[in-house]
Amino acid sequence: MLPFLEPLRHMTVDNSIYVTLFRLAIAAFCGGVIGLERGRKRRPAGFRTHMLVCIGAALAMLISQYLTMMTETYWASLLMMARTTPGTTDVARLGAQVINGIGFLGAGTIIVTGQQEVKGLTTAAGLWASACMGLCVGAGFVEGAFLGCVLISVTIIVFSRLERLILARSRNLNLNVEFEHVDDVGKIISAIKSQNIRIFDVEIHKSRNAEKCPSAVFSVRLPKRMAHTELLTLLADVENVRSIEEL
């Protein structure tokens, strides 16, 4: 146990907007650190998704602490009038069902494209974090809801630019390449390897429609100081390549 962290363990959320802000900021930072690594490796759940989930989880825990404190102090007289002993009633049980039930809405926003690209994870995480924020409002924990709203908004709006910058400089890259014949895959692989680019995976998609060209998703890792545009230009010059899309 670290001695300098001991004062933080004794902090409560009793009318302390600074403690709430501190805890939510730590959650956003920790989630962002993990999401940064995932985003650089082009995983579907990246920087903002991890931040939103961590902020929502921190809000849920703060709500639990807030309700426990209220039942033992300000709401104790009301519980006694209802012939209920403070501490024996779980006032958060309905709120817990909201956190579980919001999952079906989040699942509806997640889709998998024809190129096997997962989209909608950040939207789903935002819905879940917003549900936790709504629980704060319903419980009367207004300061937590306000700070959560600010951090969620900053994560979705401001950090989207940072995420695009991180992805633009990432050495890991997923490309959807459309070509005329399946035999052209060999030419594309040779062109990629000629630049000392490492290929992790190749997933070929054959179209049942005769008029539509086949395509393949390439998962590659670029060498240092090689820009994404260099690889795109290289593949564009390969014979029979119809289109290139960065996923």
Q: Which pLDDT tens digit goes with each residue over 148-204?
A: 899 988 888 888 887 777 777 778 888 888 888 888 888 888 888 888 888 888 888
Mean residue pLDDT of the chain comes to 77
In tens, the pLDDT along 123-145 reads 888 888 888 888 888 878 888 88
Residue type, 181: H
**pLDDT above 80 for 53:** yes
Indicate the pTM of the whole model.
Answer: 0.67
**pLDDT above 80 for 6:** no
Q: What's the angle, vertex CA 12, arms to CA 142 and CA 10, rounded to 5? A: 165
**Is residue 13 very low, low, confident or very high in pLDDT (cuts 50, 70, 90)?**
very low
d(CA 184, CA 177): 11
Q: Return the half-sphere exposure (C-beta side, CA atoms, 13 A cut-off) of residue 98.
A: 19
**Is residue 65 very low, low, confident or very high in pLDDT (cuts 50, 70, 90)?**
confident
Copy the structure tokens of residue 237: 């010059």
Q: Please state, as a whole number, how many other Cβ atoms lie within 10 Å of the Cβ of residue 125.
A: 27
Q: Which domains does the chain have, with CATH numbers?
A: 9-168 (no CATH), 172-246 (3.30.70.260)
d(CA 183, CA 136): 58
